[in-house]
Amino acid sequence: MQQQDIISALPTHLRCFVQVQDYGAYTPRDHAVWRFLMLQLQFQLAETAHPVYLEGLRRTGISIERIPSIEDMNTCLRHIGWKALGVDGFIPPAVFMEFQSRRILVIAMNMRTLDQILYTPAPDILHESAGHAPFLIDVDYAEFLQKFGEIGMKALSSKQDEIVFEAIRHLSITKENPNATEAEMQQAGRRLSDATAANDNSSEAALLARLHWWTVEYGLVGDLSDYKIFGAGLLSSLGESKNCLDDSAVEKKLLTIDAIGQSYDITTEQPQLYVTHSCRHLSQVLEDAAKGMTQTRGGAPSVREAIASETVCTLVYNSGIQVSGIISEVVTDTMDNIAYIRTTGPTQLVWNGVQLVDQGIDCHPGGLGSPLGQINEFSRCLSEYSIDELRFAGIEVGTPAKLEFVSGVVVEGDLIKIERRNQKNILFSLKNCQVTDVAGAILFERDWGQYDMAIGTEIISVTGGSADPSTFQLHNPPAEKTATRHWSEPEQLLFKVYQTMRDLREKQSIDLGILQQLRSDILENHADEWLLLFELYETTVLKDAADAEPLHLRLTELVGIDDSIHNLIVQGIERVIAQADRYP
């Protein structure tokens, strides 16, 4: 399936976050960075990664040699029921989770640059594809990931969570922008620090993000004395995938629900990691987390959590109707049973994820209120009565109605419509309506317009976001985009040398004359470009085509000059020598 076909099949509110991969935008040096990292990771992780990792790379269309094509990945992923789509950097967490719930792996299209080869502040295609995709071939893990998406997209988030997300995205874009000044980067850093300090990280979304971090991103599998790496953050990091194995420096803990209480710092290596017994164990821990969430609990306490979030949430009534808006008030009786609920601002009424006709945010721009509970002298929930039973009780469209709730709330007006779904009454609409509470205080005045009353006796679930995002879209693509790279003429000429190097390496036999000429050109004109030097050194050694000593000498000089590339070159040479010894 082509990328555009997958995009066209998405709901409208998700399409705006994805983009078609422009494969031609990757430079020959981008591919060289990819290849170097993947070869080093494959060499380093041969014994320490979960065995599924290397098999998964192959089965999900991820090549060691070059940056993967989303088209090629989808050709492979369709066999395991998943898809891949490109996005621009960080996307809102709830949106990310919804993609995951739909078995779509979203992949940041950017490729880290050579000067950020060890660490990139933004998500990139290496982390997103080579880190996350391989384990999708494990059925238990894929089911865990999908279930995580289903739960995560419904988690309650806070206003502060949204501010932190925007600050993280801004910082990552700023650091990736080659034209950003030092002052701009410092300002972006302070913005994130301030946002993080103001957030207590107690929302469901924040706590669930911790579980995601300690499993999907930084998880280990096995037991405390014998474990393998499966977290994408570790699998895509040359440094941390090695350092994490030092049990004296990195504490290992058995994964339990308590992991949601452990905060993390995205800017440093983690001082502790969690070990899960198996992928099935991951799902068990996730289920334990879900049991404590408002989407599972419902009731007045969950509604109060929604109020505290100050974000749009959805109330699910036991009748099945869904009310989405910013929940501003809940009135309860002495037993904490809900008597009345009010929303503020744009509100929609929904059934089974589809907005009811004339019940959208344009009809309820200022919110609405509804009583809950039993009606006096009614033995069942009002939703469960047939039209004939309602008529027998004196409740009929086109006639005045008076509904007296056990809580003391009274709804009195002219009934103009009964909305029914699945043989249940889910909504009464009245005009010339007045609603009063047990003390006689006015909750709704007759001249305020039509009164739409959601029907139910209890709230069985409270979820984050709107029930029908296609008509009540909360998340829009961030206005700030990842900076487009513009290459100078010298850089473009350098990329041509990288391409020549690749073309030469991929030939079955080496033309020694061309190799000698290329070596002279690189040593004379690009002697500081360590990766290009390394690629030539690697080809020379593995093809046994010429003297590698001048290249080895220059790489050794660079190691002494630049500490940031010391380990990269040293470990790269170790790999090449090991390969040469293995395949003489």
Per-residue pLDDT, 583: 52
Q: Where are the alpha helices (DSSP H) in 214-261?
A: 232-235, 238-243
Per-residue pLDDT, 484: 86
Place of tokens 């990945």: 73
Question: CB of 4 within 8 A of CB of 478?
Answer: no
Segment among 145-154, 421-430, 485-494, 562-571 with least mean pLDDT? 562-571
Q: What is the pLDDT of residues 288-323, one digit of tens each?
A: 999 999 999 999 999 999 999 999 999 999 999 999
Superfamily of domain 3-157+203-284: Aromatic amino acid hydroxylase (1.10.800.10)
Question: CB of 80 within 8 A of CB of 70?
Answer: no
Q: What is the rounded distance in angstroms from the CA atom of residue 115 to the CA atom of residue 111?
A: 12
- Residue range 114-135: average pLDDT? 89
- The angle subtended at Cα 342 by Cα 340 and Cα 343, nearest 5°, is 160
Q: What is the rounded distance in angstroms from the CA atom of residue 62 to the CA atom of residue 70?
A: 9
Q: What is the rounded distance in angstroms from the CA atom of residue 417 to the CA atom of residue 11?
A: 30
Strand partners, 414: 400, 431
Residue 13 has pLDDT above 90, yes or no: yes
Of 541 and 155, more confident: 155
Q: What is the pLDDT of residues 42-74, one digit of tens each?
A: 999 999 999 999 999 999 999 999 999 999 999
Question: CB of 169 within 8 A of CB of 141?
Answer: no
- State the average pLDDT for the chain: 93
Q: Which CATH number fits domain 306-464: 1.10.3720.10, 3.90.230.10, 3.40.50.1820, 2.30.30.100?
A: 2.30.30.100
Per-residue pLDDT, 416: 98
Residue 119 has pLDDT above 90, yes or no: no
For the chain, the domains span: 3-157+203-284, 158-202, 306-464, 489-582
Per-residue pLDDT, 490: 93
Q: What is the rounded distance in angstroms from the CA atom of residue 34 to the CA atom of residue 40?
A: 10
Residue 267 has pLDDT above 80, yes or no: no
306-464 has the same fold as 3-157+203-284: no
Letter for the amino acid at 261?
G
pTM > 0.85: yes or no: yes
Per-residue pLDDT, 582: 65
Per-residue pLDDT, 121: 76
pLDDT above 90 as % of the chain = 84
